[in-house]
Amino acid sequence: MSALQRDLMSKGLPPKGITGNMPEKKLPPGKSFAPLPWEDFFDSKTAVEVDRDQFNVYLKGSSGPVFFFLHGGGYSGLTWACLATELFARCECRCVAPDLRGHGLSKCANEEDLSVEQQIKDIVAIVSRLFPSSSGDAAPVPVIVVGHSMGGALAAHSVAHIIEKVKSVHVVGLVVIDVVEGSAMEALSGMTTYLRSRPAHFDSEEEAIKWCLSSGTVRTSKAARVSMPTQVRQREDGKFHWRINLLRSEPHWAGWFSGLSRTFLAAAPPKMLVLAGTDRLDKELMIGQMQGKFQTTLLPRVGHAVQEDSPDRLADELARFAVRYRLTVAKGGIQFNSPMC
């Protein structure tokens, strides 16, 4: 059972009616729920122009391999904020985290086309514009593509296209976080009910952060305070509504995950699959794992938003992966936590 499926079940879904409430945890009194600025985690942000579209991208670091992060549906580039800080402390690297189409601060002419084909085009264009070809003999920029949930599927689907079309970079690694084709396809049947069960709006960003924590959507306050504000947007009524209506993306859900196992296994770079607890691997992945085609890492006691619930553990695993394949070097004196599998 995937973390997403467990999270859906733990919230009592599907509820009796489409407006059913999620069970809430009590939050400690006196705790701050004020939003945290992106500047606390990233060095800068930039707007990448692609035709009529503008993609917001967060950046950290100036040397070492690039960890190119792709967020899941409904999240934003700031879902990686805490992880970027932890990872940067562990190894020489750069972190690049875009807001994908229809998410965060990005502005696109058609924000509802979240098809896998369109998003692959977006990702390839963002990479090519951030790392343009040079006229000299500079070596291609090493890139490790990392994706969570929908972003994990997009990471696997886009790697071959980046390799083929962006000669200024060299994809040296692929990391997929908490998405397995079979489990993801099964979870889709409960997603409509889950999305309808969420609050339609919030009175403030602080209220959105409180809901995020009390509902168990994210389990760490720091991550929720930097990530959640970019998932909502204030409208004319003064309320904070969801930045993207994920229900309208339902026609694309199956396309994100269909063929994911085969695509992941076929990807040329070294690969790692990070799972939030024990998940069921389908036949293709089980055979691939036994053949040593990819590394599996289990992170227990976290929810679906692995990068927000346990950024330190995930940073350990990503840094260890990069060091293992000699893609980077650990920063002086760093001792990684013991492996989880």
Catalytic residues: 149, 178, 304
CA distance 253 to 119: 13
Task: Please check whether residue 336 is in contact with residue 108, taking contact to mean a CB–CB distance below 8 angstroms.
Answer: no
| Per-residue three-class SS string for the chain | CCHHHHHHHHCCCCCCCCCCCCCCCCCCCCCCCCCCCHHHCCCEEEEEEECCEEEEEEEECCCCCEEEEECCCCCCHHHHHHHHHHHHHHECCEEEEECCCCCCCCECCCCCCCCHHHHHHHHHHHHHHHCCCCCCCCCCEEEEEEEECHHHHHHHHHHHHHHHHCCCEEEEEEEEECCCHHHHHHHHHHHHHHHHHCCCEECCHHHHHHHHHHCCCCCCHHHHHHHHHHHEEECCCCCEEECCCHHHHHHHHHHHHCCHHHHHHHCCCCEEEEECCCCCCCHHHHHHHHCCCCEEEECCCCCCCHHHHCHHHHHHHHHHHHHHCCCCCECCCCCCCCCCC
Q: ∠ CA(275), CA(68), CA(101), 5° rounding? A: 95
Q: Alpha carbon 337 to chain centroid distance?
A: 22
Long-range contacts of 127-130 (CB under 8 A, 24+ apart): 127/68, 127/162, 127/166, 127/169, 128/165, 128/166, 128/168, 129/48, 129/49, 129/50, 130/48, 130/57, 130/96
